[in-house]
Structure 1
Amino acid sequence: MEQLRRGVDLSMSFLATLASLGVLVMMVHVCADVIWRQISGGPLPATVEIVSRYYMVLVAFLPLAWVERRGGMVRVELIDGFLSRRMILLSDVMAALLAAAVYFGLSYASWGIAMRNYNTGTFVTALQYAVPVWPTYFLAPLGFLLAGLVVMLRALFIATGTDARGDNREALQ
């Protein structure tokens, strides 16, 4: 179980680093566009399209699993004060399974959209340049799938007595 936890943590660190690099490259690209506009009087070709269709999509979807792993999503504990410890654990497992089902459903739905855009070779035209955007449609299903897997692992960790952040908890019996 500890090796599984370390593998997940390493994978999530990689995704967070990749998304951080996406933010950094986006900042450099936008700054270069501003500087180029001042020098030449015109924009770098396709800056808006690349920022909105590549960088922003990367930054939005890849870190979903990392955020889930760190427990950073919104959590409502309205009735937890009235529940026994065992019922809270059961509630946490059920919420994780429901979240995983939603993530997997979103992954499945967005995979169909990604395949449709891949098959048609979707692109946008910017200043007479064709910018292929079909590859970015695969980031959403990937992000949702990874988040769903992380939430499934959280359910497993909670059910076996260790929650997703590594806190020791009593196992469901």
Structure 2
Amino acid sequence: MPLLTRLRDRGLDLLAVLGGLAILTLMIHVVADVAMRNLLNQPIPATYEVVTHYYMIALAFLPLAWLERRRGMVQVEVLEPLMSPALLRLSDRFVALLSTVIYAALAWVTWKTALGNYATGTFVLAQNVAVPTWPAYFLPPLGFALAAAVTAVRILSPEQDNPA
């Protein structure tokens, strides 16, 4: 189990780096677009489309697993003080199981949608240029699948899952 936990943690570290790079790239792209628009009257084509269809999707869905690892999702702890330690462990495992099932279902549904958009070559028009958007449809299933993996590890080993 420690190997599985270490692999999960290294993967989530990589996700954090990718998220940081995505934010940095987003900022550079938007600043360059604004600067070119105001200084040279030549904006970067399709900036709005790239930001909304790629950067924002990545920033919304890829951090789900990292948030789950740090237990940063919404929690309701009304009954927790009344539970015994054994019941609390059982409750944590049940919540992790429920979360895994929901994330896995969302991954499956969004995967099917991504495959459909890939097959049709989904795109948007920006200044009479087709900007392919189908690759971005694979980001939600990736985010949901990674979150499902993190919660599945929590089912198997909740005591090793205390956030740093």
Normalising by the smaller structure, the TM-score range is over 0.9
- Partner residue in 1 for 2:82: 82
Number of aligned residue pairs: give it: 164
Task: Please tell me whether the aligned partners of residues 93 and 155 of structure 1 are also in contact (alpha carbons under 8 angstroms).
Answer: yes
Question: Is the partner of 1:130 in helix, strand or coil?
Answer: strand
- Partner residue in 2 for 1:56: 56
- Higher RCO (C-alpha 8 Å, min separation 6): 2
Asked if residue 132 in structure 1 is aligned to residue 136 in structure 2, the reply is no
- Kindly, what percent of the aligned residue pairs are identical? 46
| Gap runs ≥5 in structure 1 | 168-173
CA distance in 1, matches of 2:139, 2:155: 24
CA distance in 1, matches of 2:162, 2:134: 36
CA distance in 1, matches of 2:35, 2:131: 22
Q: CA offsets, 1:92-144, max 9 Å, x none? A: 00001001111011001101110110000000110111110000000000110
TM-score between both structures, scaled by the size of structure 2 = 0.96
After superposing on structure 2, the runs of 4+ consecutive aligned residues of structure 1 that deviate more than 3 Å are none
TM-score between both structures, scaled by the size of structure 1 = 0.91
Deviation at 1:55, TM superposition (A): 0.6
Q: CA offsets, 1:71-102, max 9 Å, x none? A: 11111111011111111110000001001111
- Partner residue in 1 for 2:104: 104
CA RMSD of aligned residues (A): 1.3
Q: Residue 43 and residue 3 in structure 1: after superposition, are their counterparts in 2 closer, same or farther (change >3 A)?
A: same
Task: Please tell me whether the aligned partners of residues 20 and 59 of structure 1 are also in contact (alpha carbons under 8 angstroms).
Answer: no
| Gap runs ≥5 in structure 2 | none
CA distance in 1, matches of 2:157, 2:66: 16
Which of 150, 160, 164 is the equivalent residue of 2:161? Answer: 164
Which amino acid letter does the alignment assign opposite residue 86 of structure 1?
A
- Partner residue in 1 for 2:4: 4
